[in-house]
Amino acid sequence: MNHHLHHTLKAVSAQCFGKNQSLPSLCYTDTDLLTLEIDRVFRRGWLCLGRVDEIPEVGDYFTYQLLNEPLLVVRSDPDSVSVYANVCRHRAMPVAQGAGNAKRFVCPYHAWTYDLNGALKSAPLMKKKADLKHCGLPVIRSEQWGGFIFATFSNNVAPLQESLQGLEEVTANYQMASMHHIANFSEVWECNWKSLAENFMDGYHLSVVHPQSLRPLTPTNLCDSLSQGDAYTSYIANYAKAAPAREHFAPTLTEVETRQSRLFCVYPAMVASLSPDTLVYLSLQPVGVSQVQVKWGICVWEDNLSEEHKQQRIEKWQQINHEDHEVLQGLQKGLRSSFYQGGALAPESLEGCVSHFHDYLIRMLD
């Protein structure tokens, strides 16, 4: 780390760690800091790739670009999902493109062929067959939690499920793993990745930024803190009295839970809104200091939701995301100002998660 950045981080830590303060603007604009975040936060954390039920049948797969790593996510047998480096062992061509179903993966360059377990099965015209024995696709460490597929490039980070025990307790009754994936989208938002994570975990903005889409349902003044740990933070968005009752949800939900959404962040870069009937998640990765790649998806509780109702839920969240994106684009402009130095955050029930997220980042970057 260069001397200047080291000095800056010390100052940020002194100003913000445990102090319920927003971060200074350079945290959202400095390219050296972004390089450090990729190295220490992204490459050392658990990152969400998508949902298990995007690939329900054996051979179903999707490819995913995570930082500089092309990945291949495959239902390798009925009970397991495997994540491989999507890089041919011959001369590095990605062996799979897009998504689909395959019995084997044939490299489009010279036709080396891999099975669903990533083992090399054939390599045309190669003479030294024995050399090919250990030429499987590299396996990436992965885990499932709540029906999500996570991967990490680190061998040292603690197992995910273990790290999320506290979050598991406060989300278990909603039965996320039983919800059905109906759609996902890939977008680039024009803001720093941290601003998007913070925005999603901030109950303080709900009534102001979402006057039509959220204020009548989950107004700011009803937000409350929930649970936090080393690997996550979360808050509750209580429903307004006039908000219509949800009709379809897990039988395990308590009466109180049927009138709450629980919003959480699995550090560093997955945020989600879990309501009785709908689960929306966003998985983030930085493209640059002012751009973030977003994979976001929607899952629903109902088994056979009509196309019309699916579309309604998707459109509702497109609207919410649009409202947030507009604000975040403005924010990124403000963060480039040389006059902004960071300010106080709202109380724990409203912006506590933002403060927890900052403390996590400062720990990781230290």
**Among 90-98, 216-224, 252-260, 271-279, which window interacts with ligand FES (CB under 6 A)?**
90-98
DSSP letter string, 178-204: GSEEEEEEEEEESS-HHHHHHHHT-GG
Contacting Fe ion within 293-352 (CB under 5 A): 324
Q: Is 121 in the site for ligand FES (CB under 6 A)?
A: no
- In the bound state with ligand FES, the residue whose beta carbon lies nearer, of 113 and 213, is 113
- Measure the CA–CA gap between 61 and 45, rounded to whole angstroms: 23
Binding at 107: pick from Fe ion, ligand FES, none (beta carbon under 5-8 Å per type): ligand FES
191 sits near ligand FES (criterion: CB under 6 A): no
Of 132 and 253, the one with the shorter C-beta distance to ligand FES is: 132
Shortest Cβ 136–ligand FES spacing (Å): 13
Report the alpha-carbon distance of residue 202 to residue 235 in Å, rounded: 9
Q: Are 298 and 275 contacting, i.e. CB atoms less than 8 angstroms apart?
A: no
Q: Which two tokens stand for residue 341?
A: 């130095």
Is residue 88 a contact residue for ligand FES (CB under 6 A)? Answer: yes
Of 82, 22, 37, 60, residue with least CA distance to 269: 37
Pick the stretch among 4-12, 52-60, 104-112, 253-261 that binds ligand FES (CB under 6 A). Answer: 104-112
Q: Which residue has the tokens 């109380």?
A: 347
Query: Which residue of 36, 71, 83, 107 would you call a contact of ligand FES, by CB under 6 A?
Result: 107
| Min CB(106)–ligand FES separation in Å | 9
Q: How far is the CB of 86 from ligand FES (least distance, A)?
A: 11
Minimum distance, C-beta of residue 126 to ligand FES, in the bound complex (Å): 10
Bridge partners of 146, per DSSP, are none
CA distance linking residue 163 with residue 169, whole number of Å? 12
Determine the number of helices (DSSP H) and then strands (DSSP E) in the chain.
8, 17
The alpha-helical segments, DSSP class H, found in the chain are 3-16, 31-37, 160-163, 165-171, 193-200, 206-209, 307-335, 348-365
Q: How far is the CB of 16 from Fe ion (least distance, A)?
A: 23
DSSP E strands, 197-290: 223-228, 232-238, 260-266, 270-274, 278-288
Rank residues 90 and 310 by Cβ distance to ligand FES and give the closer one: 90
Report in angstroms how near the CB of residue 198 gets to Fe ion at its nearest.
11
Residue 232 engages ligand FES in binding (rule: CB under 6 A): no
**Which listed range, 20-28, 107-115, 125-133, 272-280, lies at the site for ligand FES (CB under 6 A)?**
107-115
**What's the half-sphere exposure (Cβ side, CA atoms, 13 Å) at 120?**
23
Q: Is 72 in the site for ligand FES (CB under 6 A)?
A: no
DSSP, res 116: T
User: Which stretch, 84-92, 222-230, 247-255, 260-268, contacts ligand FES (CB under 6 A)?
Assistant: 84-92
Q: How far is the CB of 205 from Fe ion (least distance, A)?
A: 6
Interacting residues toward ligand FES by CB under 6 A: 88, 90-91, 93, 107, 109-112
